[in-house]
Chains A and B, each alone.
Chain A
């Protein structure tokens, strides 16, 4: 575990201090692309997706004022939770006159009971992808380039062990084990991102 969950007490009153500002920047950097992707996934135009992301983070920022009543959990997890809720709500709730201009559309939106859970599923799915992409960036920088390539070419691009071994000039066993070990590190890294930001304590 990289860092234990921060306690509520330690954060109250520190919101405008550099420490929590860093958390904020890190937070937005990490999750803004995710919010945009989920919104795109729900069929929004790119500009609207960017707009939604802005709305969400502006709203999250505003909620910092009510942080005291946020309930249990770490500051990071709390940020994550309200963001997820906002995204799911924003993408599920009919948008009124901003929509297609046809009241029919809104009525359909209302009629689809599974939309909320569907959006949540999409969010979580994209979240997981996001974790792995971030984790991949981090792991790659810590690996030997050849080790990383052995992993990427076999596990992600689906090339055979023998082909990759030949092209990298390595033994097949070494390629096979590089693939496994990088995979293990990747999972660990993704797990640590997840437990830092998304796990309620």
Chain B
């Protein structure tokens, strides 16, 4: 029924439909005259208001928008609904939440300079918020002095154990009295929130200092490092490990430049509070030791590793292990050798490089064993640097031999090659074609067949076939670029074995094939002969502060202006790019930007103190020539900024995630599990291992039938559904996708 109130065609503008009609309109239930009604409502504001009101009877517009906001946003909202948030929730909270939370426990103050009152302190400013607590600048009203107050984060404070832990750690930290450790003046509880009070150290942190002024000189580095080691030594003697030595925790007191370590012992309280189920610590792990990154027990030598990282940072302006993601950093800390300091900054003396590298040894055994040993060594070097004639240089420590080479099947021990293999698993590979995923740097891949027949091999990168061939005993060599490759070898095999830089594929006792990877020489730093001390290393200088490679142009920053780079001296940029590519291979962007003098030298052009840059202004298109001096400051700025010129590193784990998230369609009607997985494996080109022994133990046969039909769902979903039905699970571990029995609970 359609009823109009004030029904009169001539008074259309004043007449409105009743609620029932409007409700029908809203819910698409209009039986008749749909068009006329719609036309009226769409031009009648009054009716629109009624409809709008009816639409949000059950759910407001605001709530609707929240439904579709970013997942993390909604998550915060979900948590905020409950009065006590758990420790682990903290990670997902956004910055606004933090700021609001920071101030929530303050009491009002009458002091106009104060943002609130906490115990006897007038809080003037929130300085920062870490994983554990909030640091505020405050004025102590009873003692009449400024101080820093650190309060346990309210969301952690609801746990009695967290409170106790905070207080206990703060008290033991307070027991360390040393000129290079920020003293803790008070440890107390106010309104259920434990807090501690420290003096305000006027001056920048080491982080700020290096960010502002660029890398430090060797002598400055040695001075600061010696003082950090001294402070550490005092704490270590009390049995206290810092656990979070990083540039932001090293304060440099203004004027006297005295080094003070802050946040002693508190990292531990944080770890326990913010640990997720995975045992991964929230926050920046860049300065962590390998044993910390790995979650192993740590002792004072962990701080020494972090000290090495901090020294590396002082000398180069960046931490030794950098990656896009937290996991990437942790992985590099555990596996990679840092790039030599002298390669980055030629001013670093060999002995200093050796000291830092020894501190950065993966195994605590290979580091210096105590902080005081480091103090003595650095002090002697400092004396020598200040007065080279009066004091002798300390003996250069014999550099420890590199870490033991990788064991047969342990790829995690730092080999340059990362073979993804299934060696050592008590199960058989499933598929007729063997699939190996490997992550490699640019170089060559040599494959030799040991079988009588030619071995068909396909090499893929992503979906693209890089090479398809048959390999005989004579073998074949293929040029490859950096990336993750999938190598498929036809035929049944049942084992892999890693031998140094090669993978041997076997069938029974027979070797079927061998794959050897060689990195290209232009790129391989580790094999280069170590250069003797001052042999003409080209100076690290640059005429601009930023260099960015875009599709058709190279953009540089000179002063604060951005230009397209056309020429450097007589060299046109196209030629320069071409020749650098030839000379340096895949690293050419980095080399061209960071090592300009060396690159030019290699191309037969040794620049003078400045270069003539031919540039085109990005906005006006005007072409200008600038005689730009080559300076160290420019180069340092460029170097710090240069992340965008680093080659991208795709990891095997990312590759798996991509494949698992990819959409697929499956149809299986009573297919035995093993066959089903084989199909999936071939279809998606990933190795899937069926752990037959585990299944056997759980009483599941590999002939269990699988039926599933789904279209356009993720592979992950397919595996979940299909495997759950037959009582199995999968995991991606050590970069192999393994299928095993779901434990019975």
Contacts and interface: CB of A to CB of B under 8 A. Distances in A.
Whether both chains belong to one complex is answered with yes
A24 B723 CA distance: 12
Contact of A47 (B90, B91, B278, B295): B278
Contact of B78 (A41, A133, A173, A185): A41
A114 B84 contact: yes
A101 interface: yes
Contacts of B159: 108, 111-112
Given A101-B295, A108-B161, A129-B67, A43 B78 contact: no
Given A105-B272, A174-B42, A181 B68 contact: no
Nearest to A109: B86
A92 to B, nearest CB: 10
A157 to B, nearest CB: 8
A9 interface: no
Contacts of B55: 179-181, 183-184
Given A129-B67, A136-B68, A44 B742 contact: no
Contacts of B408: none
Interface residues of B, number: 76
Contacts of B648: none
A146 B297 CA distance: 60
B276 A54 contact: no
B694 to A, nearest CB: 14
B78 A122 contact: yes
Interface in A36-71: 37, 40-45, 47-48, 50-51, 53-55, 57-62
B160 interface: yes
Interface stretch (B143-151, B457-465, B708-716): B708-716
A180 B27 CA distance: 9
Contacts of B26: 180-181, 184
A104 B42 contact: no
A54 B660 CA distance: 14
What 7 A-B pairs have minimum CB-CB distances, sorted nearest first? A43-B88, A100-B275, A173-B42, A58-B742, A125-B78, A45-B278, A180-B55
25 contacts: A28-B717, A40-B75, A41-B75, A43-B86, A44-B277, A54-B720, A54-B723, A58-B723, A58-B724, A61-B725, A99-B277, A100-B271, A100-B279, A112-B84, A112-B158, A114-B84, A117-B82, A122-B79, A129-B74, A132-B68, A155-B61, A174-B42, A179-B55, A180-B54, A181-B27
A121 B275 contact: no
A136 B55 CA distance: 16
A118 B731 CA distance: 29
The winner among A47, A114, A184, A187 for most chain B CB atoms within 10 A is A184
B707 interface: yes
B52 A180 contact: yes
Interface string A106-129: 011001101101100110011011
B256 interface: no
B83 interface: yes
Contacts of A47: 278, 732
The winner among B87, B92, B723, B724 for most chain A CB atoms within 10 A is B724
Contacts of B161: 104, 107-108, 111
Contacts of A185: 27-28
A177 interface: yes
Interface stretch (B43-51, B428-436, B468-476, B571-579): B43-51
B100 interface: no
A44 B276 contact: yes
Contact of B43 (A50, A114, A117, A173): A173
A84 B43 CA distance: 47
B389 interface: no
A81 interface: no
A51 B87 CA distance: 21
Contacts of A156: 64-65, 68
Interface in B341-391: none
A112 B82 CA distance: 12
A101 B277 contact: no
Interface string B714-745: 00110011011101111110000000001011
Contacts of B275: 99-102, 105
A43 B724 contact: no
Nearest to B742: A58
The winner among B58, B161, B728 for most chain A CB atoms within 10 A is B161
A177 B86 CA distance: 43
A48 B278 contact: yes
Contacts of A126: 74-75, 78
Contacts of A6: none
B545 to A, nearest CB: 38
Interface of B: 25-28, 38, 41-45, 48, 51-52, 54-56, 58-59, 61, 64-65, 67-68, 71, 74-75, 77-79, 81-84, 86-92, 158-162, 165, 271-272, 275-280, 295, 707-710, 713, 716-717, 720-721, 723-725, 727-732, 742, 744-745
Contacts of A155: 61, 64-65
B727 A50 contact: no
Given A125-B77, A126-B78, 16 more contacts: A28-B717, A32-B717, A43-B87, A43-B89, A45-B277, A55-B742, A98-B277, A108-B162, A117-B82, A121-B81, A125-B78, A126-B75, A173-B42, A177-B38, A181-B55, A187-B59
Nearest to B278: A45
The winner among B87, B713, B720 for most chain A CB atoms within 10 A is B720
Q: How large is the interface on A (under 10, 10 to 19, 20 to 34, 35 or more residues)?
A: 35 or more
Contact of A177 (B48, B89, B90, B723): B48
Contact of A57 (B45, B271, B279, B720): B720
Given A171-B42, A173-B48, A24 B721 contact: yes
Contacts of A173: 41-45, 48
Contacts of B723: 54, 58
Contacts of B41: 173, 177
A183 B732 CA distance: 41
The winner among A21, A43, A132, A133 for most chain B CB atoms within 10 A is A43
A145 interface: no
Given A42-B88, A112-B86, A104 B278 contact: no
B710 A54 contact: no
Nearest to A46: B657
A112 B52 CA distance: 43
Contacts of B61: 155, 183
Contacts of B42: 171, 173-174, 176-177
A132 B84 CA distance: 27
A158 interface: yes
A131 to B, nearest CB: 9
B280 A29 contact: no
A29 to B, nearest CB: 6
Nearest to A101: B279
Nearest to A178: B42
Given A45-B280, A100-B279, A121-B81, A29 B710 contact: yes
A54 B724 contact: yes
A188 interface: yes
A45 B276 contact: yes
A8 B708 CA distance: 24
B730 A54 contact: yes
A181 B48 contact: no
A125 B67 CA distance: 9
Contacts of A136: 68
A169 B105 CA distance: 51
A143 B160 CA distance: 54
Nearest to A21: B707
Given A58-B727, A100-B276, A112-B84, A28 B51 contact: no
B44 to A, nearest CB: 7
A176 B48 contact: yes
Contacts of A99: 275, 277, 279
